[in-house]
Structure 1
Amino acid sequence: MRALPRYIITVTAMLVAVPTVAAPIPVSKARVWERWEQALQSTGRYDDPARDVRLQVVYEGPGKRTLRAPGFWDGDRTFRVRCAFPAPGRWRWRTTCSDTTDGGLHGQTGIVDVTAYKGPNPLYRHGFLRVSANGRFLCHADRTPFLWIGDTAWAVPFRATAEEWAIYLADRVRKRFTDTQVGLAPWWSGDRDSRGNRPFLGAGLNRPNPAFWRAYEAKIEAANRAGLMVMLAGVMEPTTRYPDQDEACRFARYLAARLYGSFVVFSPSFDSGYMPLGDAVGAAVREATSVHLITQHPGTPSGRSTNTIAEAYRDKPYMDFAGNQTGHNGGNRERCARQAIEWNLSLWNRKPARPVINLEAMYDAHGSGAWTADDARSLGWRSWLSGAKGYTYGAGRTAAKAPGMSGGLWFWVTDPSKPDYWRKALGWASSDQMTVMHDFLASIEWWRLEPAYPLIHARATSARDRICASATPERDLVVAYLPSGDGIPIDLTGVRGSIRGRWLDPVTGKTTPIRGRIEPALQTLAAPSPGEWVLVIQAGR
């Protein structure tokens, strides 16, 4: 055989000797608490990817801190994983997939270099919500108390355009709301969003429509970037009442995966009675995320001594705080007032302690005799001083409850000729009165307040006339709500130090200082004029 030229032999040897070079690990950047995501491309073909594929990711950060989260299908061959990293430093991630042969999803790795957030957004500055150490209120990851002044926007993400949603957010941020409560795609709001997308592909909940949920989550992200928390009500029933439990749980895990990097609270129930479906979906959400809060938005068992639905859900293992609804009660204002007091007190008094949030009371619908600004405002003050550590306002009611109305802001009425057209309802004066409530509470250490009704020495003939009161255990701060009248008979025995007081007008926000000496004893403090007032007593420590 003829010998090969030497230069050919040399090249061949070099080719054999070169080792395989590993693909570089991708490195991305993020800021603390802002949403981060990584897209992955599946190498497999699946008939029903949302159902057939289970994608998981593990994040390991500084101090070997570990987070586990599900991934989700986002159309065609695209899957995504998301996170909001709680600390700066280098985080590493690795995926696992139920189909271990799918090289695009299984065993993928990466690095995220996370830096501190230095902007003004309170969510990114303080982090996801958690329950305080004493179990009484909500706070951020850094233990900063979270003041829940919520707004009701049930159908708004579904019905509003992105531009309209931006107008809504700007107004609510300016008025210092801190949370907005939304539904998903409830049947009564239509069958497709403002872009014409349906929430699911085909019947049932097994195939979420990526186009719909991308648009939906973009509105959630816009709210977060504006500084607003979002509570999602009806996770167990995204389109119709009480679907198949397995489908509902599968969808709940999908939604939790999509929103793993978002500032949201999950509520399986949406104005329903207690049911096993709510528990099953609550457990499914908890399986998917350990970093988000879960509650239940209960119905209103009107006329009962307690909210039996909220009481039944309260101590479930997936629950973080007791969601309450003291309700509209068919326009019965006396019942609304009584339930805002007694139902919140009942939940507050249960042990072990859990935060109580009144997620729905009577809305303002510019009604006469009920559904007025007075109702929405007064029920907020009654709730806050009866153990609730958060209150949600609403604007609008249907014609069956408030003649001439079509749903108002929460239904997103789009007919400019209607009196509750969304732009009109957005500017109702009652929403400014929520600003008064926020600003007052933000000026005090509201999280230290506990119901203190024994301080009040007055007998009311009705719940609407009952004076509500809370105080700190040290009695260095006392707050009382006078719904109507000339003054408050209050026992300040045991209050130490220099005592000073003022009256707050809950409508205008104007304050009137109390002149003269306030005694550490039982006395009647006269209001500046007959009417509705908030009394504030502070003492030197």
Structure 2
Amino acid sequence: MPTTVEQWDYIELTLEGTQAGNPFTEVTLAAEFVSDAGEQVGASGFYDGDGIYRIRFMPTVPGVWRYRTRSSDSELDGIEGAFTCLPANGDNHGPVRVRHQYHFAYADGTPYRPIGTTCYAWTHQEEELQEATLATLQDGPFNKLRMCVFPKYYQYNTNEPSYHAFEGSMEDGWDYERFNPLFFRHLERRIADLRALGIEADLILFHPYDRWGYDKMSAETDDRYLRYITARLSAYRNVWWSLANEYDLMRAKTTDDWERFAEVVTSHDPYDHLISIHNCIPFYDYTRPWITHCSVQRVDAYRTAENTDQWRQQWRKPIVIDECAYEGNIDWGWGNITGEEMVRRFWEGAVRGGYVGHGETYLHPQDILWWSKGGQLHGSSPARIGFLRTILEEGPEHGLNPLPSDWDVPRAGIEGEYYLYYFGFNQPSYRHFKLDPGVRYQVDVIDTWGMTVRTLDQTFEGNFRIDLPGKQYMAVRLIRVR
């Protein structure tokens, strides 16, 4: 084991122990970590096959840490050691947390604005396609990726995965008491790849699109799986937990099951990663205390991001519209909106104080659709979403919050300091603004589709008129001049 580790990275204890019986179910392993500053954290261990046991720990503060193991196996019990945690540097800002109620920041305080996309089953494709997905992400605007732990069986995605989570087979049956370490090692490798790109892995723990039986496991198996995956993955700083994609389509699960799952995950994750649950039609009760943010799917074919400010008031938590529909041209209405409409929904959500997610479903001769398999992006929205990301990063440090607006145009910002108006479908040739006298503003006319910012030569105060180009998808930004 190394003697030093960076803050918010992880250190791994690798131990050799018994292979007798079934170590997955018969051996317990954990360790207590204590810093020289008095911080104390318990971490669960896991069996990784071939007599190898591991405990992963993510130190949250610099300094010397000491540990001692606890195990039902005498060979693994009472092992002690120490290491030094060095301060984080570079792009390591720690795990993402909720900040200022409706927004996010990394653990070191650096603002984080989720600009997400969806590739449900990308880790279950051929290696070459997975590498292509990573290359696309490296060049793209996204800093969060929704992805399933288990493989997916659905339209355009019927191939068999390379690995399964349990020993056994479809033909002979799964041994739900024995995990397949190769499956989880592969998943970990891809989560680490995303971390290297600065991308959060929003892990979907259950989903209904299945033909292998993962969606209908027993309660005992469900809980064992959740304990195992949290032991393996909690130490990765870029992990988020999503209990389910479209929880309400998993007919075999009840609300009591989801509440129990939340308890298992949160009680076995010592680092309090972000956690939510995603709907198809009815919303989950997002006021539940374990839910850190609202992971929302559209509930109307057209009106989606326009609800963001109402949902903020209803649930008093960050609103992340992970599925607002997808840019594409398949037959389903959820997968054939235009790039213009995708970008419009992103902007509508942003000026109403939330965050919208991307997906893409353009037909492909080999059924390689980004939303499920990854690969390459073909749509027109990602570049414009990247432009919006720049606008957001130039905006208020603590995020955009909605402001009282005229009936026909939403706006966000900080009263008397910063305003962002978005005109969406409308195409005004000019606009009158009525602000307090004595405060002067720089005015930027933003073409959200053309990705241009035109700063007007003069500054303005009080009541003034701004000429606009008379086309859709324009925005105006007012920044106070000091």
- Counterpart for residue 271 of structure 1: 246
CA offsets 1:260-292 (integer angstroms, 9 cap, x no match): 221200011112228332222111110111314
Looking at structure 2, the residues matched to 204 and 514 of structure 1 have their Cα atoms a distance apart, in angstroms, of 67
> In 1, Cα distance between the equivalents of 2:444 and 2:36?
49
2:330–2:363 CA contact under 8 A, matched in 1 = no
- In structure 1, C-alpha distance between the alignment counterparts of 2:416 and 2:298, rounded to whole Å: 28
Determine whether 1:200 maps to 2:151: no
2:352 to 386, 406, 427: 386
Aligned residues: 461
Q: What SS is found at the alignment partner of 2:478? A: strand
Counterpart AA for 2:267: E
- Matched residue, 1:181: 146
1:455 aligns with 2:433: no
Name the one with the larger helix percent: 1
Correspondence 1:320 to 2:320: no
User: In the superposition, relative to structure 1, how do residues 367 and 499 fare at CA in structure 2: closer, same or farther (>3 Å)?
Assistant: farther
Give the Cα separation in 1 of the matches to 2:18 and 2:214.
35
2:137 aligned partner, one-letter code: R
Q: Does 1:431 align with 2:382?
A: yes
Change (3 A) 1:206 1:480: farther
Shift, 1:105, TM fit? 1.9
CA offsets 1:316-358 (integer angstroms, 9 cap, x no match): 232111221226x5xx3xx2xx22212x22321136x322211
TM-score with structure 2 length normalisation? Answer: 0.87
* Other-structure match for 1:371: 337
Match of 2:97 in 1: 130
Q: In the alignment, does 2:268 pair up with 1:288?
A: yes
| Aligned partner of 2:32 among 49, 58, 61 | 58
Deviations 1:127-176 (A, max 9, x none): 111121x3221111112111111111111012141x54343223323323
Deviation at 1:66, TM superposition (A): 1.4
Q: Which has the higher contact order (CA 8 A, sep 6+)?
A: 2
Distance (Å, rounded) in 1 between the aligned partners of 2:401 and 2:182: 46
Kindly provide the amino acid, as one letter, of the partner of residue 312 in structure 2: W
Partner of 2:84: 113
Q: How far off its partner does 1:258 sit?
A: 0.7
Give the Cα–Cα distance (whole angstroms) in 1 for the partners of residues 280 and 398 of structure 2: 26
**Residue 528 of structure 1: aligned partner:** 469
Partner-residue secondary structure (3-state), 2:203: strand
The aligned residue for residue 359 of structure 1 is: 322
Q: Work out whether residues 30 and 70 of structure 2, in 8 Å CA contact, stay in contact via their aligned partners in 1.
A: yes
- Residue in 2 that maps onto 1:29: 4
1:513 deviates by 2.1
The answer on 1:68 being equivalent to 2:42 is yes
Structure 1 segment 360-509 matched on structure 2, within 5 A:
360-366=323-329, 370-388=336-354, 390-396=355-361, 406=367, 408-412=369-373, 422-423=375-376, 426-445=377-396, 447-452=398-403, 454-458=404-408, 467-472=409-414, 474-483=415-424, 484-487=426-429, 489=431, 492-494=434-436, 497-509=439-451
Residue 149 of structure 1 is matched in structure 2 by 115
How far 1:79 sits from its partner (Å)?
1.1
Query: 1:347 is paired with a residue of what secondary structure?
Result: helix
How far off its partner does 1:178 sit?
Answer: 1.1
Q: Is the 8 A contact 1:323 1:357 kept in 2?
A: yes
Q: Alignment partner of 2:435: what SS? A: coil
State the AA in 2 paired with 1:268.
Answer: L
CA contact (8 A) 1:436 1:508 kept: no
3-state SS of 2:135 partner: helix
Structure number with the higher strand fraction is 2
Q: 1:200 to 1:450 in 2, by over 3 A?
A: same
CA contact (8 A) 1:159 1:412 kept: yes
- Per-residue CA distance 1:2-42 (angstroms, 9 max, x = gap): xxxxxxxxxxxxxxxxxxxxxxxx76222222232111111
Conserved? CA contact 2:440–2:459, under 8 Å? no
> SS of the residue aligned with 2:177?
coil
* Contact 1:205-1:247 at 8 Å conserved across structures: yes
Cα distance in structure 2, aligned partners of 1:496 and 1:68: 57
**CA distance 1:165–1:186, change in 2 (3 Å):** closer
SS in 1 for 2:111: coil
Structure 2 counterpart of 1:17: none
What runs of 5+ residues in structure 2 fail to find an aligned partner? 169-173, 249-253
CA deviation vs aligned residue, 1:448-494 (integer Å, no higher than 9, x gap): 42212x32243xxxxxxxx332122x331111211131157565434
1:103 Cα deviation from its structure 2 partner: 2.4
What is the SS of the residue equivalent to 2:116?
Answer: strand
Conservation of the 8 A alpha-carbon contact between 1:365 and 1:405: no
CA RMSD across the alignment: 2.7
Stretches of structure 1 lacking an aligned partner (at least 5 in a row): 1-25, 302-307, 414-421, 459-466
In 1, Cα distance between equivalents of 2:398 and 2:113: 9
Cα distance change of structure 1 residues 488 and 183 upon mapping to structure 2, 3 Å threshold: farther
Q: In structure 2, the residue corresponding to 1:234 is in which secondary structure?
A: strand
Query: Could you tell me how far apart the structure 1 residues matched to 2:340 and 2:160 are?
Result: 35
Say if 1:192 and 1:199, in contact at 8 Å, map to a contact too.
no
Is the Cα–Cα contact under 8 Å of residues 451 and 469 in structure 1 kept in the other structure? yes
The percentage of counterpart residues that share the same residue type is 19
Residue identity opposite 2:265 in structure 1:
V
Q: Which protein is bigger by CA-based radius of gyration?
A: 1
CA distance in 2, matches of 1:243, 1:375: 39
Which SS does the other structure have where 1:282 is aligned? helix
> If the length of structure 1 is used for normalisation, what is the TM-score?
0.78
Q: Retained in 2: the 8 A contact 1:270–1:298?
A: yes
Letter in 2 for 1:375: E
Change (3 A) 1:346 1:524: same
